């Protein structure tokens, strides 16, 4: 097998098409946590930052590779490209690759924790490994255990941002600024897991056939859409309040960015709200499923809308701190 073909197989089983979106969480944590742009690009810190990002990418790959390794029979029916990639690579080789990724990530995380004297980095890496692996394999296999499916939101949305925050921040875990950021991360996690519920609803027929008890299978599509909208609304309220407090912690002039966050959250919720509102008017679940699948063409934009205002605001926080304009009202 050529190096090019091997890389193509690796990229396929690691699902790199999702990597750019997940890296947004890393950027938000870095922007909010860093003291200044100068600190981020300083010679003594840039290697730590690069090492931290490598750890994240390794564990991102682990989550998807384990899922491909565990679900190869399911993928034979519904995701043939992934199935053929696993077969060409070989499940044994894929398993060895997962173990190597985990081992390297743990060693690097320990090294980073020692250098920056933050045990939180290694702690979050260990939790991420447990949840990423436990999501797909027995005896845990959270993906088929009803509400435990929601645990996948932690390594996708919560851990990346909090991990990168601790990677670059000089604040302790007990400072008000850190606590406010963690609350904001909880809001982002709730709001965007709500959108994952919509994606899961689309897969309800296939999941039922394979015996996977996802929330959508347990609740049905109509109830899942309703819970998705309410969860996104709750998450958005937490995000807005948290960013108001973050802005006040840095400079109250940043409050002018709140409308950008609100607009982004509105467009993130709009389509789910319309689906939820119309769901009772469909005569059968199949009709609702057909309508849902039509909307899934623009599904990635729902995440993008909700995160755009947050990312811009986070960058502005970093710029204000870099310029020395922090007032620290909280």
Tens digit of each residue's pLDDT (9 = 90 or more) over 206-258: 777 777 777 888 888 888 899 999 999 999 999 999 999 999 999 999 999 99
**31 and 115 share one domain:** yes
Based on the structure, what is the number of domains in the chain? 2
The pLDDT of residue 234: 96
**157 and 244 share one domain:** no
**66 and 99 share one domain:** yes
Residue 53 domain boundaries: 1-167
Q: Please, what is the end-to-end C-alpha distance for the chain in angstroms?
A: 59
**162 and 177 share one domain:** no
149, 167, 185 — which closes off a domain? 167
Burial of 143 (0-12, 13-18, 19+ CB in 10 A): buried
98, 132, 167 — which closes off a domain? 167
Tens digit of each residue's pLDDT (9 = 90 or more) over 128-149: 898 888 877 777 777 766 667 7
Task: Give the CA radius of gyration of the chain.
Answer: 21
- Cα separation, 235 vs 206, in Å, equals 29
**130 and 258 share one domain:** no
**245 and 323 share one domain:** yes
Residue 212's closest CA among 90, 67, 93? Answer: 67
**223 and 99 share one domain:** no
Tens digit of each residue's pLDDT (9 = 90 or more) over 139-181: 777 776 666 777 777 888 899 899 999 999 989 999 999 999 9
Residue 163's closest CA among 3, 22, 319, 324? Answer: 22
Give the Å distances, CA to CA, from 204 to 11, 198, 225: 27, 10, 12
**181 and 153 share one domain:** no
Q: Which helix (H) or strand (E) holds 76?
A: helix 72-78
**87 and 135 share one domain:** yes
- Residue 328: band (very low, low, confident or very high) from pLDDT cuts 50, 70, 90: low
**101 and 54 share one domain:** yes
**57 and 6 share one domain:** yes
Q: Across residues 76-102, what is the average pLDDT?
A: 80
The pLDDT of residue 227: 92
**134 and 177 share one domain:** no
Token pair in block for residue 193: 């897991």
Whether omega before 139 lies within 30 degrees of 0, making that bond cis, reads yes
Q: What is the pTM of this model?
A: 0.88
143, 167, 191 — which closes off a domain? 167
């Amino acid at each position: 097998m050529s190096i090019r073909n091997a890389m193509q197989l690796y990229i396929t089983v690691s699902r790199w098409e999702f990597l750019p979106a997940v890296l947004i969480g890393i950027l938000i944590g870095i922007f909010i946590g860093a003291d200044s742009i100068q600190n981020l690009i300083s010679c003594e810190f840039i290697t730590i930052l690069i090492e931290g990002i490598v750890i994240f990418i390794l564990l991102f790959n682990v989550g998807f590779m384990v899922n491909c390794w565990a679900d190869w029979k399911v993928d034979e029916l519904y995701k043939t490209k992934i199935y053929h990639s696993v077969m060409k690579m070989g499940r044994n080789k894929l398993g060895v690759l997962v173990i190597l990724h985990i081992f390297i990530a743990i060693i690097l995380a320990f090294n980073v924790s020692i250098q920056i004297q933050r045990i939180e980095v290694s702690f979050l890496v260990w939790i991420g490994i447990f949840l990423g692996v436990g999501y797909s394999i027995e005896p845990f296999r959270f993906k088929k255990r009803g509400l435990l499916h929601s645990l996948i939101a932690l390594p996708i949305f919560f851990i990346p941002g909090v991990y990168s925050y601790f990677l670059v921040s000089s604040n302790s875990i007990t400072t008000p600024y850190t606590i406010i950021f963690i609350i904001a991360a909880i809001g982002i996690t709730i709001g965007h897991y709500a959108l994952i519920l919509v994606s899961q609803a689309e897969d309800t027929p296939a999941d039922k056939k394979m015996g996977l008890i996802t929330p959508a299978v347990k609740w049905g599509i109509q109830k899942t859409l309703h819970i998705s909208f309410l969860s996104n609304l709750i998450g958005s309220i937490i995000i807005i309040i948290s960013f108001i407090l973050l802005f006040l912690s840095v400079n109250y002039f940043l409050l002018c960015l709140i409308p950008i966050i609100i607009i982004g959250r509105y467009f993130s919720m709009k389509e789910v709200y319309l689906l939820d509102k119309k769901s009772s008017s469909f005569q059968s679940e199949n009709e609702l499923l057909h309508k849902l699948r039509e909307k899934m063409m623009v599904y990635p934009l729902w995440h993008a809308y909700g995160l755009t205002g947050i990312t811009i605001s986070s960058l502005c926080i970093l710029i204000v701190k870099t310029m020395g304009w922090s007032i620290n009202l909280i």
